[in-house]
A and B are shown apart, each in its own frame.
Chain A
């Protein structure tokens, strides 16, 4: 009887393991002002093990990172993802799922992705980003409880995030950290510390989303009440940097404190396909907590982010165009007024931008694409031509260029020394 039951359970259970390994090399055209090498490499191994049993499943997705340039923290294994460097060992997912006829419940560290626009999603605020490399961004899973209830062609998501996870910013004094102009002739050296919100019930985050499909339209409305995972910066001290022995370049040391604003976001998105076009729209109204947390009083202004895009495919070609906008309400100052554009991250730095992508499949194994992000007022841009080739059944090779151009006082132009070529080799399993 016991053996029969065990055999029955074995039949009803299901193990699944999948993942990939990717190795990337980057060669920069110019040396970094921060003194980093022009050649970098990193490797990422991700596996995902899923065990399914009747209407429950357990999933764990460990991540292993190594790199040549110190952005990974080789000493730590972490699930919290609050570290400045990316942990060498972590888990992007660790979830327990429970499923009934009309309800999905997921508990644990998970990936929650919202929005229907391409690449840039104003309503996608539950899960933070990893901006250690501002072009090759990653997502950071959040510890959350998510319930999704289905109603015929609609669904309602309820998300509770008890513990805050911040977006991981570029490392201080490194290639991708925003370039701020020194008030003197001396270069700036930054120090920073974070003040995270407390992990209490009152400090937890809530999100809700109603998603509906009807008459050829997909749309959703959503509400998020939580923390902006991009911090505000408070200037604590500017002083001549003390050298720790030996001759050093004189510099000004800037001590910044990262703090986080409570924020409410009301948003919506839409996808429809009239006359052979894919049309996608997404917008969100952000209402940050009021009051000066920092030396940039303008940062508490309400603002609206929106994206409107179209895509068209024909034959072996795909074309995508999307405009992305940012409207701020009220008035206020800005951080380092002459260069407010530089102390931004993609969430707002890519407002007032045009995204374009042209892709062609040149055979069963090969394709190329050209992606461009052009900021409409300043004209600084990112261009990325890329070629992909399927080497073998599970092996893919990609090669391309990240070309950053523009003025050093603009969001993308400040990184023009970071233009580079790359090669990626990926094995999926």
Chain B
């Protein structure tokens, strides 16, 4: 593909509405999905968003429908602010076990495209035990993604089932589901309310995954910053039990996109937590298609 034709040369394309990908937990890569959930920017003043909600309430629309419509619009805003044609960053993570002992890992993440039509490659760079391990994900809208895991020690790439969503990704507290790209339409939303704290004002939204998503979670609670339209906290429920929490920190606006440079995922059942830190974040950079091939997965980004 020529450079001129690459989407990376057309930054911040206006996203289509309806059926577009969300990243409910989008792409940290390590968790691409979580990463996308927590990045956002805003273009419209908040009042333009709040007006329809007020109008609907005055018009006597049933509160349940109002809450659902409002929540959907908020999540679409979150998704819209996070859009980019490509993203690259280096990440490091610390996995703390119940006793507080820590394991550190680092990786390079690249993603091209967005949501339902995207390609991503995560390559671990340390520790030596997992150096070179790579995960290639080719996401297709409406059909399961293709995923391969390459393990240098056995020199094999292995197609893995995308539905293995509850499986931990390389010993972290992130599951493969947490890393998958999602569509806005994959969830049913409801606006639970608004909360304020010293950290700011937030919408609290419940997101229930559609059955065809086969999610490990029964529902999620998501806190969206009312000013930035960035998800700053997520709670993951299995049945009615709180299973995990995800918190975002160190928000920075990079190339117009609000980006959480620090994430903390806690697994309440296991008593472990994973802290992710991102650096060298670049959006809308030209990334060759050759980076997202089995050849490159095996060859270790030569």
Residues of A that sit less than 8 Å from B by CB: 18, 20, 52, 57, 99, 104, 111, 113, 116, 150, 155, 213, 216, 218, 271-273, 275-278, 312-316, 318, 361, 363-365, 390, 393-394, 396, 428-429
Contacts and interface: CB of A to CB of B under 8 A. Distances in A.
B97 A273 contact: no
Contact of A113 (B98, B128, B155, B161): B155
Interface stretch (B69-77, B81-89, B116-124, B166-174): B166-174
A201 B100 CA distance: 61
A18 B103 contact: no
A20 B153 CA distance: 11
Contacts of B98: 363
Interface residues of B, number: 38
Interface in B123-167: 127-129, 131, 143-144, 146, 154-156, 158-164, 166-167
Given A57-B302, A111-B155, A278-B160, A361 B168 contact: yes
A152 B78 CA distance: 36
A365 B97 contact: yes
B144 to A, nearest CB: 7
A314 B161 CA distance: 11
B92 to A, nearest CB: 12
Main secondary structure of the interface of B (DSSP, over half): loop
A315 B272 contact: no
B101 A276 contact: no
A363 B267 CA distance: 10
Contacts of B95: 364
A113 B167 contact: no
Contact of A428 (B127, B158, B168, B270): B127
B56 to A, nearest CB: 40
A273 B294 CA distance: 17
Nearest to B104: A393
A365 B103 contact: yes
B228 to A, nearest CB: 32
B42 interface: no
Contacts of A312: 161, 164
Given A20-B128, A150-B295, A364-B96, A273 B155 contact: no
Nearest to A48: B152
Nearest to B101: A365
A268 B106 CA distance: 37
Interface in B254-277: 270, 272
